Structure 1
Amino acid sequence: MASGFGLNLRLALIAMSALHAGVAIAQAFPVKPLRFIVSTSAGSGADVIGRLVGGGMTAVLGQQVVVENRTGASGAIGSEFVAKAVPDGYTMLQVSATHTVAAALSSKLPYDLLRDFTPVTQVANAPNAVVAHPSLPAKSIPELVKLAKSRPGAVSFGSAGTGAPSYSAGALFAAMAGVELLHVPYRGGGEALTAVLTGETQLMFGPIASTLPHIQRGGLRLLALTSAKRSPLLPNVPTIAEAGYPNYAAGNWYGIVLPLKTPKVVVTTLRNAVLTAIGNAEISRRLTDLGYVVVGDQPEEFAAFMKNDFESLRKSFRAIGVSID
């Protein structure tokens, strides 16, 4: 029978070996290019964010971060690819509000967003802007609610399609306000924006970056933002939450996750690279110009954020009977 001293010595040696192995992994990683999976097409808003951050990470890591666009099924194709990848840190996934919306709308995805990935960090977020065609009588959220209640189903809002953040923001608002809005899905955000600009639809819950130029030219009326708190980018614009819906919050966000069981030292290395990238003055300026606020939170905080976003969306979708299953 081994003595207590011998057992303790072996445990100590095992612990030291594990520590040295972890240090070795951290020092060696990365030794080859990394794949950064973006679940939207080249040139999209998500793609622009991914290439900005990926380029910054390349400069930090000394290895090329190669953006790969794997599109389709509201991000499910790219997500499944990464979920099944080797957990060595060389395959990353850009996740966004689209991913939690898709998970909340369907229980049949080939992966579990909250259980099959290792969070790295949230990169940036931005509220959507609630914009209206100038012909709409409502000039504020209270006026919009009053109008919609007097004309159920007559006030329309366009989106980039069921499953897009521009859809979920409108659906959540309608559910919380107790109004019936007519949802008109389009094939993309550009078409939805054109529709509200021409008066084909009356509302859009769209990204600040694409709607702000039209607001400034008078082509659209800005009613509110969809964030929980006022945006530092537009501090004088009220939120939907301020209008009497304190639990309302929606918008666009982007983050990075890895396959489940990726070593912690690798996660830390990649997170540090992201933080350095988004801390770069030029990258930070470009994100700000696109309407985003940089985040860079801890993996645990990002995991909690995604869980809360998913559960809030699922509860609201169930309340209004929306599903894509």
Structure 2
Amino acid sequence: MTELNRRALIAATLAMPALRSAQAQGSWPTRPVTLVNPWPAGGSSDTMTRIFAQRFSQAFGQNFVVENRAGASGTIGHSYVAQSRPDGYVLLSATNSTYAIAPHLMGTLPYDTRGAFTGISLLARTAQAVCVHPSVPVTTIQEFLAYVKARPGEITFSSAGIGASSHLATELLMSAAGLDMMHVPYRGGAPSAQAVLAGETNMSFVDAVTALPHRQAGTLKMLAVSTAERTPLAPDVPTLQEAGVAGFESSTDMALMAPANLPAPIVARLTEAVQAAVNDPAFRQQIIAQGAAPVGSTPAEFATYWTQESEKWATVIRVRNIRMPT
């Protein structure tokens, strides 16, 4: 064997793993993909996760199986994904409660909030609604704010847990409107909504997808929405900004993420799939019908948003002196 042939053989041998990796990425997925939802089944994040999982299953010709790994403000599911192989077969359907809020509350996490994940796209944004039990003697958001102000520390509110977006939205409201309410945390959006439905608590920020049917049934009063614009599913319900709470804006924001170092070709294919989904009129209507607004950002756009969202809630947590129980 000549020296030239020997060098060519060595080069070819060294290139084989990279070639096999590239081929694997190009053919991904060749088996079912797990889409982790770090919140309990039954809440709005679970509903949205399953809608996108069905869409991805159709787009890629492989089943995207939703797996609920709930607990610790979503950090249990995040930790599981952070420790998974970055091969595209374990993905994360995350909410801002965990990727933008929990790091400022939880102390030392078992993963690096930014370094352990590949951010792919913001999927959808769900408006939250100020909901009260029918026994609360108010009919408008202005009446409710006055009712709470007259009873400092007496009115209870439920949330999906300390650090959940429903908790932080209420803290933001109390700070902006000068209110004092008692927090009763639950483990997830579904049990939190059930608490106010049952009258265990007086008030809660409930995602619109969960609140609307109960409003129609008369089992909840829906007084205002948290987003800058009214939701098209309840156009008669004002925003908190319209009610005089200047600058108030909060929502449950869902994002598609993966373990760090997900290969660029897989990131690109997932980003394209999200863009195709949110630009499909029929799919958009499916999301809107659930009380959410489809988004579909690029990885770079998501990274910018992630920084801004994290800084926003870090300020609220610091100003309100919110702490996890020890």
Return the TM-score normalized by structure 1.
0.83
Q: Does 1:59 align with 2:63?
A: no
Q: Which moved more, 1:201-210 or 1:38-47?
A: 38-47
Q: Does 1:97 align with 2:96?
A: yes
Map of 1:45 onto structure 2: 44
Map of 2:32 onto structure 1: 33
Q: Which moved more, 1:30-39 or 1:115-124?
A: 30-39
Map of 1:149 onto structure 2: 149
Give the conservation status (yes or no) of the 8 Å contact 2:130–2:222.
yes
Q: Are the structure 2 counterparts of residues 224 and 109 from structure 1 closer, same or farther at C-alpha, using a change threshold of 3 Å?
A: same
Partners of 2:146 and 2:68 lie apart in 1 by 43
Structure 1 residue 44, shift from structure 2 partner:
4.2
Q: Does 1:213 align with 2:213?
A: yes
Map 1:1-325 → 2, pairs under 5 A: 27-99=26-98, 100-279=100-279, 283-324=283-324
Letter in 2 for 1:163: G
Structure 1 residue 281, shift from structure 2 partner:
5.6
Q: Percent identity?
A: 35
Partners of 1:194 and 1:260 lie apart in 2 by 36
Q: Which moved more, 1:82-91 or 1:222-231?
A: 82-91
Partners of 2:25 and 2:182 lie apart in 1 by 52
Partners of 1:194 and 1:131 lie apart in 2 by 12
Describe the SS at the equivalent of 1:241: coil
Residues matched between the structures, number: 307
Query: Any gaps of 5 or more consecutive residues in structure 1?
Result: 1-19
Describe the SS at the equivalent of 1:204: strand
Query: Any gaps of 5 or more consecutive residues in structure 2?
Result: 1-18
Describe the SS at the equivalent of 2:242: helix
Map of 2:13 onto structure 1: none
Letter in 2 for 1:96: T
Partners of 1:318 and 1:21 lie apart in 2 by 49
Alpha-carbon deviations, 1:11-56, whole Å to 9, x = none? xxxxxxxxx9998666333333322222133444333322221221
Partners of 1:69 and 1:88 lie apart in 2 by 20
Return the TM-score normalized by structure 2.
0.83
Q: Which moved more, 1:170-179 or 1:24-33?
A: 24-33
Alpha-carbon deviations, 1:138-182, whole Å to 9, x = none? 433333333322221122212233233222221221122221111
Structure 1 residue 187, shift from structure 2 partner:
4.1
Map of 1:11 onto structure 2: none
